[in-house]
């Protein structure tokens, strides 16, 4: 079966907003197969605590692939406690060079309350400008909404929730069932 014949797993929106000493990561709960909603209450934002060090991660893409990456990130964090940047770079290096990991189709937003990164399979560890990161099918809508709200709203969670509401109104692969985690 060719890639174009398979409808593929679609949809999610994950956003990370840093403001006022806090970082909020929010994600919707919709999982779609082609044009069909398979599940509306998935948890795509999770709290990791390797060695008592809190990290919040949100993922877009294949769930199994994302869980594999989250497990690898936890292992990297255990080897470099308190160093999210270093652990993220090590994960990105492995993801880019390991033949098994190269096939994984997911993206991550990770934060320890201080740093905020997007990690991709292309070997990127990106620190977003303007204290906002967004990924997934509705990521650009959420990013635009959050950027518009950022100067007018003081609460990071309100910015994230409002941006996600706007994204879910626009992107058919995003719903309003949110998982929200705050750190910092």
Looking at residue 13, what is its pLDDT?
95
3-state SS record for 69-119: HHHHHHHHHHHCCCCHHHHHHHHHHHHHHCHHHHCCCEEEEEECCCCEEEE
Are the C-beta atoms of 106 and 59 separated by less than 8 Å?
yes
At residue 133, the 3 state secondary structure works out as: strand
Residue with tokens 């390991």: 98
Q: Give yes or no for a contact between 45 and 60, defined as CB atoms under 8 angstroms apart.
A: no
pLDDT score at 10: 52
Q: What pLDDT score was predicted for residue 2?
A: 45
Name the helix (H) or strand (E) containing 55. strand 55-61
Give domain limits for the chain.
Answer: 12-26+44-170
Name the binding residues for Na(+): 168, 171, 174
Q: What is the pTM of this model?
A: 0.91
Please say whether the structural domain 12-26+44-170 has been given the CATH code 3.60.20.10: yes
pLDDT for 6 equals 39
Binding-site sequence positions: 168, 171, 174
What are phi and psi for residue 67, nearest 5 degrees?
A: -65, -40
The residues carrying an active-site annotation are 12
102 vs 128: CA distance, rounded Å: 23
> Taking the chain (184 residues) in consecutive chunks of 10 residues, what is each chunk's mean pLDDT?
43 94 96 86 91 89 84 92 94 82 83 95 90 95 98 98 97 95 93
Q: Provide the pLDDT for residue 130.
A: 95
CA distance 174 to 131: 22
Neighbours of 93 (CB within 10 A): 14
């Amino acid at each position: 079966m060719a890639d174009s014949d398979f409808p593929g797993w679609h949809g999610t929106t994950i956003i990370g907003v840093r403001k006022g000493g806090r970082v909020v990561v929010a994600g919707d709960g919709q999982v779609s197969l082609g044009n069909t909603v398979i599940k509306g209450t998935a948890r795509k934002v999770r709290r990791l605590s390797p060695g008592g060090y809190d990290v919040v991660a949100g993922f877009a893409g294949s769930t199994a692939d994302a869980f594999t990456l989250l497990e690898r990130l936890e292992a990297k964090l255990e080897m470099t406690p308190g160093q999210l940047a270093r652990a993220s770079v090590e994960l990105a290096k492995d993801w880019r060079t390991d033949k098994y990991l190269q096939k994984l189709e997911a993206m991550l937003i990770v934060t320890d309350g201080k740093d905020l990164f997007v990690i991709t399979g292309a070997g990127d560890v990106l620190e977003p400008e303007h204290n906002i990161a967004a990924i997934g099918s509705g990521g650009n809508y959420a990013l635009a909404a959050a950027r518009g709200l950022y100067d007018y709203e003081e609460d990071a969670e309100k910015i994230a929730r409002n941006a996600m509401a706007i994204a879910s109104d626009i992107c058919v692969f995003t719903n309003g069932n949110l998982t929200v985690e705050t750190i910092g």
